[in-house]
Structure 1
Amino acid sequence: MEGSNRKSTALTGSARKIKDNAADFHNILLRWDRLNDDGFNMATNISNIRSRWRSVEEESVSSSSPPEGGAEELQSECSRLQDVLSRMEALVLKLQRLFQSHCGLSELSQFRSQAPPLFHSWTTEDFESWPRSLCSWFRAELDLKTRIVQDLAHSDSPDLILVYLSLWIHQPHIPVRTRLDLEGLLLETGHRD
Structure 2
Amino acid sequence: MDLFSPVTVKQSPVVTTPGKNLTGSPRIARDTVADIHNFIQKWNTYHIEGIKIVEAMVNLLPRDLKSSNDDLLDSSFNLYILVEKCSEVIEALELFHERIKALTNLMSEEEILFTTLHLGDMVKHARTIHEAYMKELANKRLVLEHISFVKSVSEAVFLKCLWKYQTDVNRDVRLALEILLVETGHRAIT
Bin the TM-score by the shorter chain: 0.7 to 0.9
In structure 1, the residue matched to 2:6 is none
Unaligned runs of 5+ in 1: 54-65
Q: Distance in 1 between matches of 2:19 and 2:124?
A: 23
Q: Of the candidates 134, 140, 150, which is equivalent to residue 145 of structure 2?
A: 150
Amino acid aligned to 2:76: C
Residues 72/10 of structure 1: CA separation in 2 closer, same or farther (3 Å cut): same
Match of 2:28, as an amino acid? Answer: K
Matches within 5 A, 1:51-90: 51-53=61-63, 66-90=64-88
TM-score (norm 1): 0.84
C-alpha distance in structure 2 between counterparts of 1:39 and 1:92, whole Å: 16
SS of the aligned residue for 1:97 comes to helix
Report the CA distance between 1:123 and its aligned residue. Answer: 1.5
Say yes or no: does 1:25 pair with 2:67: no
Residue aligning to 1:45: 56
CA contact (8 A) 2:100 2:123 kept: yes
- Structure 2 unaligned segments of length 5 or more: list them: 1-13
Count of aligned residue pairs for this structure pair: 174
Residues 110 and 119 in structure 2, CA contact (< 8 A), matched pair in contact too:
no
Q: Equivalents in 1 of 2:162, 2:94: separation in Å?
A: 23
2:149 is paired with a residue of what secondary structure?
coil
* Larger relative contact order, structure 1 or 2 (CA cutoff 8 Å, min sep 6): 1
CA contact (8 A) 2:128 2:173 kept: no
Residue in structure 2 matched with residue 136 of structure 1 by the alignment: 131
Give the match for residue 63 of structure 1. Answer: none
Distance 1:81 1:114, change over 3 A: closer
Residues 114, 142 of structure 1: CA spacing in aligned structure 2 closer, same or farther, 3 A cutoff?
A: closer
For residue 177 of structure 1, what is the amino acid of its counterpart? D
Q: Hey, what's the Cα distance between the residues in 1 that align with 2:57 and 2:43?
A: 21
Q: Deviations over 1:72-122 (max 9, x none)?
A: 211111000000000000000000000110110022113xx864x110111
Q: Residue type of the partner of 1:159?
A: S
* CA apart distance, 1:8: 7.0
Matched residue, 2:116: 121
How many percent of aligned residue pairs carry the same amino acid? 23
TM-score normalized with structure 2 length: 0.85
Q: Which of 97, 100, 103 in structure 2 is aligned with 1:99?
A: 97
Q: How far apart, in 2, do the equivalents of 1:52 and 1:31 lie?
A: 33
